[in-house]
Amino acid sequence: MATLLQITDLTKSYGAQTILNEATMSVTDRQKIAVIGRNGAGKSTLFKIIVGQEDFDDGKVTVHDSTRIGHLTQHSDYSDEETVIDYLMRSSDKADWECGKIAGDFQVKNEMLDAKVVSLAGGYQMRVKLIAMLLKEPNLLLLDEPTNYLDLSTQLLLEHFLANYNGSFLLITHDREFIKRTCTETLEIENGKMTLYPRPIEEYLEYKEEQLSLAERHNTKIEREKKHLQKFVDRFGSKASKASQAQSKLKQIGRLKTIEIAHPLSTTQINIPKVEDKKGIALHVEDLEIGYSDKSIAKDINFDVERGHRIAVLGDNGQGKTTFLKTIANQLNALSGSYRWGHNIKIGYYAQHIPAALNSEERVGDYLKKSAPGVSEQDIYKMAGNFLFKNEALKKRISVLSGGEKARLCLAQILLQKNQVILLDEPTNHLDFETVESLAVALQQSNVTIIFVSHNRTFVEIVASGIVEVKNGKIKRYSHNYEEYVYHLKKEIEEDLGISTEPKIDIGKEARKELRAKLKEAKKNLRSLEKSMAKLEEEKKAILQWFEDNSPQFSEERNKRLVEIDKEISANEEEWMELEEELEVLKT
């Protein structure tokens, strides 16, 4: 097994702050590693050191002669006038047909090859950068936040590519679902150290929790033993007849060592203030057309959003998700039609550009106080603490905050305002996945009406209670749940490219025997399971037909039953697919 990269005792500091402290690791052939850690832990710094963009203070970084590194970042190196094919040929030094072949694997073809790179939507620009990197035939990829701003279609293509990639890669992303589907090992950077665990992220986090629990139990036991021995010394140490025994006990105490437990990092715990519970329509959209003076983006938009619902606005980049959010936030005029918010609804709007537009000279605490008039200082400090702004952090000027810290600050400000409706446009970019998931759970448990755009699959899965799909100039309610949305999108990509985005299953001989026995027993239930699924599908079809016939009316009772049916169908389908999958495995 060839070693591609060796890092030994790597130390890197910025002034008094030590980012990496004698960190060591190595990467060999075909390792698929998720790099995790808090914002500022040193993940991107590590990548920059490996490729020589950043110096380090001490240690050794060895990139072996056979290693060809591909580094994918948010930075772009194409000019404003460069077409896709020209950029690919220039950056790779390959012929146009070679560039076109790889580009086709990522659905970049035909007239798109002659378009200027800067004219493409963000997801397609990232595809072009990925294609350019792959044309150099790397065997070690460094992928720094490749999923930021990527639409779901591009994420699925990248996911398929990484799952089938024969080389090694290190991946930084804050989307746990993407990590789970692409990475088999986990590298955590924490408190200056690097820990490489040769198993997926869920197993690593479980292992880490177990190790912490073991260390705490060990330390409790040691402290108890020390206390017991010390009692003996205190009581009998002054007596001549017991002096030798007391000295022996003191030596025992000296040999008892506790395990050092690093100071735990603060965890984001977000609590969103409750708003008054009200039933009814939060947003009514009627024959709405959105876009700009010279271009219509989508029209004939008709749907309602009930109060307290959490609606994910989904679709490919460039289709109009942000335009729709801007329109209903009253940041952009509608071209025709109308939308109407419910009575006495106060709206909070988080846009992608807001963190960058903050007053850099203002201090964190002052910004929050100014943004939330009438809110008590206690509530302000509590919300600030939820987003890890405590004590001295409240006195920081906004100019010294990282991108992730600015995003957290803006989110804290919006949540402090006790809005009945919150509109969120990509709120998870630049947030570590602990903060992403904490925010998701808080939103899911809130009674606030939420309409949001996000491509973070973990975030959408937790938050969304409904979906609005933006596609081909149309915006409408999507009748199925998020899991089905992802499934159908995968199938579309598979059909278009003739690929399978489903993970490969590797089953050994012993497992085959177990599956055979399980399949024999399960076949008895297969027929009744299929009958149950058919009945559920008929009931679902009838409800969906009602919604179609009575659009844009909304029925809470029917919608509730639809959710129940979806869950039952999903459970049945999962069981059915497991049986079919087992059968296919046994045939091979």
Query: Do both 390 and 413 map to the same domain?
Result: yes
| Residue 82 included in any domain | no
| Residue 385 included in any domain | yes
**Domain final residue, candidates 172, 203, 234:** 203
Structure tokens at 163: 């799952």
Query: Do both 411 and 544 map to the same domain?
Result: no
Structure tokens at 154: 């591009």
Cα gap 394→360, rounded to integer Å: 14
| Residue 351 included in any domain | yes
Query: Do both 566 and 491 map to the same domain?
Result: no
| Residue 91 included in any domain | no
Structure tokens at 42: 């040193």
State the Cα angle at 455 between 36 and 442, rounded to 5°.
75
| Residue 121 included in any domain | no
Provide the number of structural domains found in the chain. 3
pLDDT bin (cut points 50, 70, 90) of residue 263 is very low
| Residue 365 included in any domain | yes
Length in residues, the chain: 588
Cα gap 447→275, rounded to integer Å: 7
**Domain final residue, candidates 430, 464, 495:** 495
HSE value, Cβ hemisphere, 13 Å, CA-based, for 2: 13
- CATH code, 470: 3.40.50.300
Residue-wise over 83-94: b if at least 16 C-beta within 10 A, else e? bbbbbbbebbeb
**Entry pTM:** 0.71
Position 307 pLDDT exceeds 90:
yes
Query: Do both 456 and 547 map to the same domain?
Result: no
Residue-wise pLDDT tens digits, 109-165: 889 999 999 998 777 888 899 899 999 999 999 998 888 778 888 888 888 889 889
| Residue 44 included in any domain | yes
Q: What is the pLDDT of residue 264?
A: 47
Query: Do both 550 and 490 map to the same domain?
Result: no
Q: What is the pLDDT of residue 265?
A: 44
Cα gap 470→382, rounded to integer Å: 37
Residue-wise pLDDT tens digits, 464-488: 999 999 999 999 998 888 989 998 8
Query: Do both 571 and 425 map to the same domain?
Result: no
Query: Do both 156 and 198 map to the same domain?
Result: yes
| Residue 310 included in any domain | yes
HSE value, Cβ hemisphere, 13 Å, CA-based, for 474: 6
Residue type, 256: L
**Nearest partner of 429 among 181, 120, 76, 147, judged by Cα:** 147
Residue type, 510: E
Domain assignment of residue 156, given as a range? 3-68+139-203
pLDDT bin (cut points 50, 70, 90) of residue 561 is confident
Query: Do both 441 and 511 map to the same domain?
Result: no
HSE value, Cβ hemisphere, 13 Å, CA-based, for 529: 18
Are 410 and 431 within 8 A, CB to CB?
no
Q: Which residues pair with 186 in a beta bridge?
A: 34, 197
Query: Do both 472 and 373 map to the same domain?
Result: yes
Q: Tokens 């950029």, residue?
A: 87
Cα gap 407→274, rounded to integer Å: 22
Over residues 33-37, the mean pLDDT reads: 93
**Nearest partner of 34 among 204, 152, 285, 286, judged by Cα:** 204
